[in-house]
Structure 1
Amino acid sequence: MLKYCLRENLLTPAPDDYMAQVQDVRSYTLDEIIDLMMQKGSTLTKADTKAALQVYAEVVCTLIKDGAALNTPLLNTSLSISGTFNGAADSFDKKRHTVHLNLSAGTLLKEAVGKIKCEKVEAADTNPYITEVTDIVSGKVNEVLTAGGVVQLVGSRLKFDPKDTAQGIFFVPETGEAIRAAVIAENKPARLMAIIPADLPAGSWYIEVKTKYANATKQLKTLKSGRFGKALTRSS
């Protein structure tokens, strides 16, 4: 069951426009998935299953590293290259060009998505909520982050204390340490603007806001955080 609540849609002028926000989604580790496989009465041991999945992952990564594409019942992949080439004689340069891995659902996942049942629940949290991320330099929404440029966040309960290093706008990689925005141009409950670090490495990044504000003026002792649900690609 997919649980969701409704929140005011701040991207439209109509006061009665609301949008759905998914709630209480549980994530599963590989070990937990293997345990569920064992419950289905697999003839393989847990160790054998884990080893087989490890080999599967290694083969998939090797294929991707070799520039191949996957076409499986679970997912499909394709590769693309971004960046400008200076004439027909120019070649790929990691400093100017980026390879992107594009993922889409395979037939089995598409079928599973079509069977999801939804349940409406009441919104209980008071965490920061980001509805839109705009890269001011490129003008693109919810897609890219231009290193050294300006990012604008729209949402609710976003205001934070910039003097507290635990609070702020954070750029979170899929693996590794988060990077905090050092320069804030605007700090309001419904909108934030900040400078994207010029040395932000290439790759996929999540935008996360951390704050202790309970409302426009009152701060709590507990840190609250809200992450935009879609990963953004750093653009140079």
Structure 2
Amino acid sequence: MATNDPKKHSITGNLVANMLTEREDDYTFNVTYTASRTIKDLCKLAAANKSKFTASELESAYNDLKEQAEIELYNAATVEFGFANNSLGVDGPFIGPEAKFDPKINNVVMHCIPRTEYKTELASIDVIVGQVSEGLPTITKVTDVVTGEVNNHITPGGSLNGEGKRVRIVGEEGKTVGFFFISANDDSETVVPMTALSRNDPSYFSFIIPKLTDGRYYLEIATQAGTNSKTLVKEVRRNRFPYVLTVESTGGDRPEIE
């Protein structure tokens, strides 16, 4: 039965040309994020809005729960925590019935599966599509020079070669431009120094990957480069490369796109 009841939540965003396909009418949806919230932020907001506990009490309780959740998880329990059901697994091949765990080819990994209740909530979110964002800097491919891997693992201290459109880093004084690695775990940001760039062209770039700890990262680019290589747009345009890049000393799996 159809209903006219408004949905409880909504997200907005713009359409961006998908440079990873050959179709000219293929777009991806870039969500317009309203804020970035840490656990400390959430505790403050909850305390101010409706909780009978103070922000420090909520954070202390969260830390206690997180510590206990980690103990259970690391002892091979499946743990419901946050938005997901979490469990451990082991990647890599085990050849033969007498095979043992080999840290050179096997890794302990964490699986996080969204809880069913949130899948229902996601279906209730209204998606508001805004305008088409033109002229965004778009990275289409990156290659780790040390390993030769494409859109996958990267090696801190080694070179990263990239291709794309409008990827030349230029900007007015005082404007924040450049390349940035964003942790997929906590959204922390690591800046690539401009001195690390060895190639800075409209369609190609190369830089030394900064010191990054093991984990998963998004690569973002921010520039004022326009469609004409000699002109600057008024505002900084920032865009994210959709592949998740992995820093992992022991290697890993196939690239992942989100």
The answer to whether the superposition gives a TM-score over 0.5 is: yes
1:92 paired to 2:103: yes
Please give the per-residue CA displacement for 1:125-162, whole angstroms capped at 9, x wherever unaligned: 865344x45546334x4xx22324655354x432225x
User: SS at the partner of 2:131?
Assistant: coil
Please give the per-residue CA displacement for 1:209-235, whole angstroms capped at 9, x wherever unaligned: 232323422246975543335642125
Is the contact made by 2:168 and 2:200 (CA closer than 8 Å) also made in structure 1? no
Code of the aligned partner of 1:138: E
CA distance in 1, matches of 2:223, 2:204: 12
Count of residues in correspondence between the two structures = 225
Residue 201 of structure 2 corresponds to 187
Is the contact made by 2:90 and 2:106 (CA closer than 8 Å) also made in structure 1? yes
Structure 1 position 195, deviation (Å): 5.7
Is the contact made by 1:72 and 1:106 (CA closer than 8 Å) also made in structure 2? no
CA distance in 2, matches of 1:183, 1:83: 35
Q: Structure 1 pair 102/232, CA: closer, same or farther in 2 (3 Å)?
A: farther
Please give the per-residue CA displacement for 1:11-47, whole angstroms capped at 9, x wherever unaligned: 2222222222212343333344335544664444444
CA distance in 2, matches of 1:167, 1:116: 33
CA distance in 2, matches of 1:187, 1:80: 42
Aligned counterpart in structure 2 of residue 9 of structure 1, from 10, 14, 18: 18
User: SS at the partner of 1:49?
Assistant: helix
Residue 118 of structure 2 corresponds to 109
Code of the aligned partner of 1:171: F
Please list every run of at least 4 consecutive aligned residues from structure 1 whose deviation after the TM superposition is greater than 6 angstroms: 83-87
User: SS at the partner of 2:125?
Assistant: coil
Q: Structure 1 pair 76/187, CA: closer, same or farther in 2 (3 Å)?
A: farther
Q: Structure 1 pair 193/119, CA: closer, same or farther in 2 (3 Å)?
A: same
Is the contact made by 2:142 and 2:162 (CA closer than 8 Å) also made in structure 1? yes
Identity of aligned residues (%): 21
Structure 1 position 97, deviation (Å): 5.8
CA distance in 1, matches of 2:233, 2:246: 33
Residue 154 of structure 2 corresponds to 146
- Give structure 2 stretches of 5+ with no counterpart: 1-9, 252-258
Matches within 5 A, 1:1-236: 1-38=10-47, 41-66=50-75, 68-72=77-81, 74-81=83-90, 88=99, 91-92=102-103, 98-123=107-132, 128-130=137-139, 132-135=140-143, 137-139=148-150, 141=151, 144-147=152-155, 148=158, 150-154=160-164, 156-161=165-170, 167-173=177-183, 174=186, 175=188, 177-180=190-193, 182=196, 184=198, 187-188=201-202, 191-194=203-206, 197=209, 201-215=213-227, 216-219=229-232, 224-228=237-241, 231-235=244-248, 236=251
Q: Output the TM-score relative to the length of structure 2.
A: 0.64
